[in-house]
Amino acid sequence: MEAASLANGLGEAWRSAAREAPAELFRALADPTRRRLLEHLVSSPSSAGELASRLGLPRVNVSHHLGVLAEAGLIDLRGRRAAVRPDALTRLRRYFDMALTTAAISAPDMSRSVAREAQNPTNQIS
């Protein structure tokens, strides 16, 4: 009964956290082009022109998508350079950590497969 009580408590905490989820971050990341831009910016700050060249996209499109990422708080635009805001990524990580923890405790038989998947991921980010 103690495990069920813990799972219920975590479920409530998860639902509360999910209501405060960073919806603007998810909306910004829903677009594959913005995810690609963010992936490039994680390794180094870049200008819209540099990103456009690397990704083979029109500069105006890159500038638009950078604006959406900046408005969501995922990146900072300083001068002509865009850089990732680690605090925004931390908010996303916190959301997914809480979801994974709650799911693993709520369905303990599934937690072994989740742990295995974490150790041997088959779907790599490209």
Q: Exposed e or buried b for every residue in 27-58, given b needs 16+ CB within 10 A? A: ebbeeeebebbbebbeeebbbbebbbeeeebe
Residue 91 has pLDDT above 90, yes or no: no
Query: In one letter, which amino acid is 46?
Result: S
State the pLDDT at residue 95. 83
Prediction pTM value: 0.72
Higher pLDDT, 76 or 107: 76
State the pLDDT at residue 57. 97
Higher pLDDT, 33 or 12: 33
Q: Which of 27, 93, 21 is nearest to 65 (CA)?
A: 27
